[in-house]
Amino acid sequence: MTAIKVPGSGRSVLGEGPSWSARENAVFWVDILGKRLNRLSLADGAVTGWDMPRNIGWVVERADRPGFIAGFDTGFVELDLDPFAIRPIADPEPDLPLNRMNDAKADPTGRIWAGTMPYSCEGDVGAFYRLDTDLSWTKVDAPYCIPNGPAIAADGRTMLHTDTARGTIYRYTIHDDGSLSPRTEFIRFEDDWGSPDGMTFDAEGCLWVGHWGTGQLSRFDPAGKRISFIAMPASQITSCTFAGPELDRMFVTSAADGRDDEPDAGALFEVEPGVKGLPTLPFRG
């Protein structure tokens, strides 16, 4: 399997958070450090974007109204694109101005799970939060250094979350009240794999994970065994999402930060996964 660079996808400093919108037949992704939200139309291949006033870690589409919930370095916000508007919801870490939000996903009930991390990528000062549909928030776990890629299984109760700095993917059980079981280690990356970054489940219960540092996209079986991988044209692979009406296409983000020697670093790529995925879930508040 080969990866194809999406024409016009640019060179994101820190591309992250790819998200499929069935409503718009488009893939959205962010450039966190480039302060930009990008959109790829699957109808015509056009790439458009919006400059943001601050670092933006992710967007989650809203189910019953236009726009998104987004994670800025100042916390949770409502984000509308047409007309453009930003409305603050809450900053869960006003005492940590050197932290920012990094990655998030919604679960089947419509809640958002999001992590925070230090800009320095050093120190266990990050945390894991839940944003409920009434726009209230709760810290659900800590500490984290570089939280990445919440991935929620089809059962809606099994959630995986990475600490990239520790090279470990953790597993939680989501309880009915939104609380979490204690984290347990699910996958620990081997030294020559690089570091685990963003991830998503496919329809067969397998996990796809981007490798930061070694230019790979791996698939792990439900027991956590690596069963295949795709070599990518950039070393810093950050996340992936299934897309398209049949959820049989996959798009992969990357980062150009510190990689002036890699001409394709920071691009959005498409790979042929050979399996269907799970839909991107919206926020239901």
Query: Catalytic residue positions?
Result: 197
Distances (CA, A) of 254 to 11, 32, 152, 211: 9, 11, 22, 10
| 191: phi then psi, degrees, rounded to nearest 5 | -60, -35
Task: Return the ∠ at Cα 73 (arms to 72 and 78), rounded to 5°.
Answer: 25
Residue type, 104: A
Q: SS in 3 state form for 55-74?
A: CEEEEEEECCCCCEEEEECC
d(CA 216, CA 236): 8
Question: According to the annotation, is 185 in a ligand binding site?
Answer: no
49 HSE (CA, 13 A, CB side): 18
Phi-psi region of 186 (alpha: psi -120 to 50; beta: other; left: phi over 0): alpha
Torsion angles phi and psi, residue 246, rounded to 5? -100, 0
Would you say 197 is a known binding-site residue?
A: yes
- Answer yes or no: is 100 a known binding residue: yes
The structure tokens listed for 191 are 């030294």
Tokens of residue 90, six digits: 């809450």
CA 93 – CA 100 distance, rounded (Å)? 9
Cβ-based neighbour number of residue 158 at 10 Å: 17
Instruction: Report the C-alpha gap between 135 and 91 in whole angstroms.
Output: 12
CA angle 206, 211, 216 (to 5 degrees): 80
- Binding site for a divalent metal cation: what residues are annotated? 16, 148, 197
**Known binding site for substrate: residues?**
100, 102
Binding positions are 16, 100, 102, 148, 197
